[in-house]
Structure 1
Amino acid sequence: MYIPQHYKNEDLSEVKEFIVTHSFGILVNDLEGKPWATHTPLELTTDSGGRDILIGHIAKANPQWRAFAGNPRVLCIFHGPHSYVSSSWYKEEEVPTWNYIAVHVYGSLQVMTEEEVLAWLSSLVDHHEAGEKDPVSLHRMSDATLRQVRGVVGFRIQIEEIQAAYKLSQGREEDHARIISELSSKKDPGSKEISGIMNKRSSGR
């Protein structure tokens, strides 16, 4: 994606943390000459060689997976908070803009076996159910229920490139205090989250 140099985030540890926190991403590939996208959880982990990978799944009824064998190259999009920024908050005249965080991950996809998918989904469910009062587990589900698991296509994505855009009013540092204050007063969660991120960065924490 196009990212002006001063908006690029090349702190890989921070970007990876963002992917983990905002793991409900968008899987994009080419299907019969047409861009195709699916919204799905994409888990950042490492393979047996210690390399970063993404693991995910889509329904077998979704035709997107039929293109994987012929063209395994995919794009995964992770989007975070965003907020409108009024130029009335600036000391000098300027046009309004938008602050946001977005990460694009490019890689090559490999379809997993049914056994691998079941093992991964079991660990994924166990992880997300850990804080529940009465956690469910795939290990305790009936064969009839687990047939739903066999209706998905699981995959691993070997990460080849990560691009991260953190557009947070860079170049307008003299206006940051006002921007942070105005955003924090808004009701929408995106503005408040962007305000918090900008405040943390301004404080050097």
Structure 2
Amino acid sequence: MFIQPWDAALDDAEWRTWIADGHDFGILSVNGMLGHALSTVPTHFTVDGTALLIHLARPNPVWKMIEADPNVTFTITGDYAFIPGPWRAEHDVPPTDGVPTSYYAAVQFTCQATAVDEPEAKAELLRRQMAHFQSDGDHAPIERDQPPYGRMLPGIRGLRLDVTEVRATFTYDDPKPAGQRTDTARRLAERGTALDALTAAQQLRRLDRIGTWKP
């Protein structure tokens, strides 16, 4: 993932806070077998210290690839929007000469993957995930010898992704003048489609922290 200097995360707290704010679904990318393209799996995940926890169906063909090469990446994207060219045109050029772009946030983890197969370890992994995704506790106990989860455990495998590198980008036109960035956030709020409001909030948050970007 290419990251311009002005798009990089300002600190680890920035991307950690962004993930904790409901960005818990991403794409697992696994190296394909010799002669084949890589394989991707969309899935929810849970953060466990310096690792990510996920689980997948046992028949998923990705397991053979992970066993052959446990070096994987996991990517989360969000708060994205297409920015039309006229919004970005400099004040002294025709609006039609403005160059469009994409705004987005993304965090990419490089990881070492380890399968979790022992029944109690799988049950504990599921407990951790449920504590995050269904924190009200409105579910049956997750026990290896009790229904309903006990009979389902053989059908899944857990996966622990130990993070070795993190690359994060918040691409919101930070080198542009503050007035232009504020105006773009306003236009996003007015357009109000898809993730426009969230994208505008990210742009204003970065503007508040950075102000006028300096190399």
Q: TM-score range by the shorter chain?
A: 0.7 to 0.9
Query: 1:68 Cα shift?
Result: 1.8
Determine whether 1:41 maps to 2:44: yes
Give the Cα separation in 1 of the matches to 2:202 and 2:16. Answer: 16
Determine whether 1:103 maps to 2:95: no
Query: 1:195 Cα shift?
Result: 0.6
Segments of 4+ moved more than 6 angstroms: none
Structure 2: runs of 5+ lacking an equivalent = 211-215
SS at match of 1:61: coil
Question: Whose strand fraction is larger, Structure 1's or Structure 2's?
Answer: 1
- The one-letter amino acid paired with 1:89 is W
Per-residue CA distance 1:41-99 (angstroms, 9 max, x = gap): 121122xxxxx111111111111012222210001010111111123224514311111
- The one-letter amino acid paired with 1:26 is I
Give 1:162-177 correspondences, 5 Å limit: 162-173=166-177, 174-177=179-182
Q: Hey, what does 1:130 align to over in structure 2? A: 135
Determine whether 1:19 maps to 2:19: yes
Per-residue CA distance 1:107-143 (angstroms, 9 max, x = gap): 11111133211112023224432347xx113348953
Question: 2:115–2:158: 8 Å Cα contact kept in structure 1?
Answer: yes
What's the TM-score, normalizing by structure 1? Answer: 0.87
Per-residue CA distance 1:126-177 (angstroms, 9 max, x = gap): 4432347xx1133489535532232111011111111111110121124112
RMSD: 2.1
Identity percentage of aligned residues: 20
Residues 60, 125 of structure 1: alpha-carbon distance in 2 compared, 3 angstrom cutoff: same
User: Structure 1 stretch 122-131 or stretch 147-156: which is displaced more?
Assistant: 122-131
Q: Hey, what does 2:191 align to over in structure 1? A: 186
Question: 1:138–1:146: 8 Å Cα contact kept in structure 2?
Answer: no
User: Structure 1 stretch 180-189 or stretch 137-146: which is displaced more?
Assistant: 137-146
SS at match of 2:120: helix
Query: 1:19 Cα shift?
Result: 2.7
Question: 1:104–1:164: 8 Å Cα contact kept in structure 2?
Answer: yes
Structure 1: runs of 5+ lacking an equivalent = 47-51
Q: Hey, what does 1:54 align to over in structure 2? A: 52
Give the Cα separation in 2 of the matches to 1:69 and 1:202. Answer: 44
Residues 157, 38 of structure 1: alpha-carbon distance in 2 compared, 3 angstrom cutoff: same
